[in-house]
Every structure is written in structure tokens, then in C-alpha cells.
Amino acid sequence: MTPETTIDGSTPTNRYRLPGIEREGIAQLSLLETALWPLQGGILLSPVFETSYGFTTPAGREMAHVTVRSALGLQPIDEFVLWGLLGATLRKPQADPLLLATPYWMLRHLGLATGGYQYGELRGSLLRLATTSYQNTGFYNPETQEHENVAFQFLSMFLPTVGGTGERVDNDRCWRIEWNPAFFRFCQMTGGNLLFDLDLYQDLTPASRRLFLKLKDRFWRSKKVFFNVDDLTINGLGFAASRPLYKRKFDLLNCIHELLQHGVIELGKGQTDPKDLFLKRGKGSYVVTLFQGEYFRLPLAGRTTSEKNAISDDPLYEPLRTIGIDQAGIRRIFETKTRGLIKKWVSITDAAMHEKPKGFPGFKVSPAAFFMDAVQNDRLPPDWVYAHEKKVEQDQWERNKAAFAKTEQECLRRYNEARTAGLRAYLASDEGRAKFKQTYESLLELTKRTEPERYQQAAHDATVARIEKLDFQFPEYAVWVLSQENAKEKSTA
């Protein structure tokens, strides 16, 4: 996974070299092989996105099939939040799969505004990511250094609510993000992650972001890379397959213009127009060649020392100040105690302060004294913590289940309406009227004997039910959902 030279014999670009950046994002390499979700975003009628990519093994060329399931759908901002918060978690030595920080700190780290709307946007993004699962039949596991069939989720979220009563999230307290252990290990391993400039990534449009990360990985191996345009635009960037190739090629050209402006790529020798980067190989077959830009050849600038070393930039700084620890105490804790221990007792103290959990007797002196005593003496968590955490997880599971059920119920409602309308249209057709007359007459004699008080209505109802079951043709629910998704893609193409 780490060759000393590229195919052309030159020294490879260091994938971890970040010229003069302020904020770092970290992405998982195998996830970058394909789009994570179609670019139109939003709630699809089908909660499943399927795509694929090829990879080389000693036995030859193989295909990996990727399935992403998201009941709520994914938005373009979700990948930015995923990679940005993952970078925030992994930037500390000996990082553990837990990010404990206020939403204000998360927004500030991501470079987003901190108004009321942004808190809701961040909350919605975390909910969508938490309810998304990823499956890959050819995932490269950097631990075993083999391609494996894997399935996992990205994260779990635990957002405190006002008064601990559920529903309304408390934006002034710490939010807890727990990364899936397997996913987190994949992102920690050398050969499994890609470090990148989060500021540049934020400036790009969603499609250009995906292309930038692909190039950031591939330019490490070669200064010139080739992509099949059809495969890149559909599987790699997430454009709708129903969108004509010439339109997807135009969209890709817009991405290329954007990356040229930022110096990520450059034109080849003798080329004067981005269109020169495309080569037609046959009818409906194009290859695009992209050349490493000046961005990757900039001298390595010193990172801002104050930004990296200031304790006030640490995600645990604000929670500790809220507990009542002064700056000198915070610095001493950071220098002498492990982050896992600090996070554990910040979470326990925060819950004790705001939620008054069952079994908690109250602070004898103050929250700060409670916290310092526990951390300095490395005490075991009190018994009430376990019952409280179980209750919080149960409440979160029920909210996630309710959100999924609401989406599914709406989809079922639309399906039933469409099926009922289709049945009415069939009964109004020549074929439907003939079937109704034939069936009705045969059932009328039966209902006269079985339900004499309402034999005509009974015969009518039985006829409609029989026609719906035997003669009326309408797609099953899953097929109908897929057809609606395709129709939506065509309308947006």
C-alpha cells in the first residue's frame, strides 16, 4: 500500500503532507472509491443506494459492490460533517472513538456559522449519519491487508435534552459522538485513511469535493491519473445514471474548472482548454486525464502553533470550564491525565449537573470538586451512571425508530393512494368493466343467499376484491419504490 516510487519512477506525493493548512479532515480510503449517496441528496423513495467499483488482486480484476442504507437519506453536508468531526477526533495522540464536545465547538471547528439554524443542521446531519449503514463486498481492510466483505455503521450520537425529559435537545451541553469501533480502527490505520485540507474541501461544491479526495489519494501514487467518464460520474461522484452522458460530462467539466481554479489540477503540456483533458475512445466512451496541480507542490508551511497548542481550542476545554475548573487546572489535567479518563468524568459530571439522574445523591461541595476528586483518584463510576446511560440509549433508539417509522409510513401512504387510483382507472377501462360485469353477475346469486339484506353491495365489494387480486396488475411495494426513484432521477436530469 506504500510504494517507494510511482509508475513513472518519480518520488510519490506524500498523502499526509498538507501545505499550510489550518484545519484537517480525515476520510476513509475505501469509502472514497464510490459516492456515498446520490448527489441530489434528500429523502429518496428507496432508502438504499447501490454502486460498485473495480480493484486489482493477485488473482485478477475483481468487483466490489457497495450498498448504503439510509432511512432518512443523506445530504451533501453530511460527508463534510463526517470527515470533519472524524479529523477532530483523530487529531489527538492516542485518540479513542469518542468525541465529547459542545455543538458550538463542533460548528466552530467545521468552520460553520453558529446561529440557531446551524445547530439544527448539525443535529440533522448527525441523525442521518447515525441511521446510515455501509456494506462493501470488497472493502480493503488495512488491519488484515485483505479485501473483505464488511458491513458497519459510522457513528452513534447521544444528545442531551433540556431537563433530561427527551425531545428538545440542549445546545449548551456536551454532545457525545461515539464512532463505530471497526470504522474507527479502519480510519486510524496507516493505509486506511486520507488526511486532507478541510478548508479547501469546504470551499468546493459537493461533486468537486468527492473528486478532490479521489485525486488527493491517487496523486500520491502518480502525477497523472485516468478515469473512465461514465464510471467516474455515476459510481465515483454520484450523478444519476439516468442523466445522459453528455450532461454528466458537462457536470464533470464544471468540477474540473473548479479544481483548476484552486490549483488542485492543471492542464497537460500543450493543452489550452479543459476540454482537451477528455479523450474519446469510442461511441459513448470517454476517458479524462487529470494532472497534478501546483497545490500539491507547495512548500510545507509551518502550521499555526497557537492554534494547535492552545488549550482553549481543545473540545474538552469548554465543558471543563462549565463544570467550574479554572484554566490552570485544565492545563494540569491535560498534562497528567488520559483523555479517556477526562471524557468519562466530564460526561458523568455533566449528566449529574443537568439531568439529576435517579440514584444521584447530589454534590457534596460542587461539580468541580466532584470532578477533580474522581479524576485525581481515578475512581470507578458510581452505580447510578450505568442505569442512566441505559435509559439515554433506550430513549435515543426509540427516537430513531420513530423517525424511520414516520418516513416509511409516508411512503406506504403514497403507495396505497397510487394503488387505489390505479385500481379505479382499471375498473373504468373497457377491460375492467367487462371483468367487473362478468364477475359481478356470478357473485350476485351467491350473495343473495349468503347476505340477502345487502346482497348487491356485498357482490360489488367481492367483485372489486376479486379483480384486484386476480386481474389488476400493480407493482409490489419495493418495485414501485424503485420506479418512483427512477422517475425522480429523470425529472431532475
398 in the same domain as 350: no
Contact 215/225 with Cβ under 8 angstroms?
yes
Which grid coordinates are listed for 296? 500539491
70 secondary structure, DSSP code:
E
Q: In this structure, what are the phi and psi dihedrals at residue 54, rounded to the nearest 5 degrees?
A: -100, 150
Residues in the chain: 493
- CA–CA gap between residue 197 and residue 308 (Å, rounded): 15
Where is the domain boundary, 126, 161, 190? 190
Tens of pLDDT, residue by residue over 400-440, are: 677 777 777 888 888 888 888 988 898 899 998 888 888 88
410 in the same domain as 356: no
- CA–CA gap between residue 255 and residue 277 (Å, rounded): 13
Extended beta strands in 142-237, E state? 146-153, 155-158, 175-179, 193-197, 224-228
Where is the domain boundary, 277, 309, 341? 309
367 in the same domain as 406: no
Contact 64/231 with Cβ under 8 angstroms?
no
Report helix, strand or coil for 78: helix
pLDDT attached to residue 12 = 38
Structure confidence at residue 21 as a pLDDT band (50, 70, 90): low
Domain assignment of residue 25, yes or no:
no
- CA–CA gap between residue 29 and residue 147 (Å, rounded): 13
Tens of pLDDT, residue by residue over 191-223, are: 889 989 898 999 999 999 999 999 999 988 889
Would you give the end-to-end CA distance of the chain in angstroms?
38
Structure confidence at residue 117 as a pLDDT band (50, 70, 90): confident
pLDDT attached to residue 9 = 40
Q: How many domains does the chain have?
A: 4
Domain assignment of residue 128, yes or no:
yes
pLDDT attached to residue 66 = 96
Q: Please say if the pLDDT value at position 184 is more than 90.
A: yes
Which grid coordinates are listed for 452? 340477502
Range of the domain at 127: 30-190
Contact 142/190 with Cβ under 8 angstroms?
yes
53 in the same domain as 4: no
Domain assignment of residue 238, yes or no:
yes
336 in the same domain as 371: yes
Specify the DSSP element, H or E, that contains 285: strand 285-292
304 in the same domain as 271: yes
Q: Please say if the pLDDT value at position 306 is more than 50.
A: no
424 in the same domain as 337: no
Domain assignment of residue 203, yes or no:
yes
45 in the same domain as 185: yes
Tens of pLDDT, residue by residue over 130-157, are: 999 999 999 999 999 899 999 999 999 9
Domain assignment of residue 300, yes or no:
yes
Where is the domain boundary, 139, 159, 190? 190
pLDDT attached to residue 397 = 76
- CA–CA gap between residue 222 and residue 3 (Å, rounded): 11
Q: Please say if the pLDDT value at position 272 is more than 60.
A: yes
318 in the same domain as 273: no
